Amino acid sequence: MKPEFILFWIAVGLYGVSAFSYIFGLISKHEKLFGFGLYSALAGFVPHTASIARRWMETGISPFISISESITFGIFMAVLIFLVFEFTTKKVRPLGVLVMPIAFVLMGWAGTLIKGAATRLAPALQSGWIWVHIIGAATGFGAVLVAAGMGLMYLLKEKNSGGIYEKLPEPQAIDNLAYRFVAGGFIMYGLMIVSGAFWSNQVKGNYWNWDPVEVWSLISWLTYGIYLHLRITMGWRGRRLAWYALIALAAMIISYWGIPFSVETFHKGFRIEH
């Protein structure tokens, strides 16, 4: 097995340890398991980064072309955002109870799709816009994943008291954090759509093709736009937005990876083998 694959599966294993630590920590109300889960996530992030870097250096190919590479890079950004937030604020210790299980499951799925050789992007499709496009998408996904985690924390805080829940911020503070992450994800996902349009125009001569990936990306972006509208204009707060953030995450995952996987292309007309 290639070193990059060994590093990848080590990362998956450590993310799994982190996920179960958070889950059992929440069930048993044992706060030390959250700390163990956090440091397991950090330990997994190191080989995760190394596997991406090694694949990139050995092939010279951007490490986010195939579906498996796209998932791997998306989870890389999500875990990075999660770790930075957790180590800089230390306010929401159980946050990983949603973030890390999703990271573990998606990384495991990516592992089943990995091919030995990196996928090459046709010269006609190469453009600087692809970097903006992918980084915007991955960062946006990471932000809304954390926002959904905040939504779960809000619901748990609202229904429970004492113990680990006593140490969570007040519901209003959690609600405000979720709003900030959704706003950031909305901006980055919008950047993904705009840069994708410029990329399409550069290589195909039109900005929009209405293929399933584009349509679902627009739906996801509008979904979070509605979240912001409901909060800013309609005055929604708390439980309703917490549930909204959790449900909207499903639309994001479907648009980001579900649709491309089901139709066997990354975009219609931009055929990439995977």
Are 174 and 207 contained in the same domain?
Answer: yes
**Residue 103 near residue 78, CB atoms below 8 Å:** yes
Are 147 and 218 contained in the same domain?
Answer: yes
Q: Any idea what DSSP says for residue 270?
A: B
Are 80 and 127 contained in the same domain?
Answer: no
Chain position carrying tokens 């125009």: 201
pTM, full prediction: 0.89
- Helix/strand/coil for 72: helix
Residue-level pLDDT, tens digit, the chain, 274 residues? 688 889 999 999 999 999 999 999 999 989 999 999 999 999 999 999 999 988 777 766 566 767 788 889 999 999 999 999 999 998 899 999 999 999 999 999 989 887 765 556 665 566 678 888 889 989 999 999 999 999 999 999 998 888 888 889 999 999 999 999 999 999 999 999 999 888 878 877 788 887 777 888 888 899 999 999 999 999 999 999 999 999 999 878 877 766 655 555 545 444 444 3
104/210 Cα distance (integer angstroms): 32
Task: Give the number of other Cβ atoms within 10 Å of residue 53's Cβ.
Answer: 13
Are 271 and 152 contained in the same domain?
Answer: yes
Are 141 and 260 contained in the same domain?
Answer: yes
Are 252 and 137 contained in the same domain?
Answer: yes
Host domain of residue 172: 121-274
Using alpha carbons, list the distances in angstroms from residue 158 to 154, 165, 166, 217, 239.
6, 9, 11, 32, 8
Are 99 and 161 contained in the same domain?
Answer: no
Number of domains making up the chain: 2
Are 133 and 210 contained in the same domain?
Answer: yes
Are 99 and 196 contained in the same domain?
Answer: no
Are 20 and 133 contained in the same domain?
Answer: no
Residue 252 φ then ψ, to 5°: -65, -45
Q: Any idea what DSSP says for residue 91?
A: -
Nearest CA among 152, 168, 160, 159 for reference residue 244: 152
**Of 86, 119, 152, the domain-final residue:** 119
Nearest CA among 222, 214, 210 for reference residue 185: 222
Are 268 and 196 contained in the same domain?
Answer: yes
**Of 119, 146, 164, the domain-final residue:** 119
Sorted by sequence, the CB contacts under 8 Å of residue 269 that are 6+ apart come out as: 204, 209, 211
**Residue 221 near residue 193, CB atoms below 8 Å:** yes
Are 86 and 51 contained in the same domain?
Answer: yes
Nearest CA among 108, 78, 77 for reference residue 12: 108
**Of 119, 154, 170, the domain-final residue:** 119
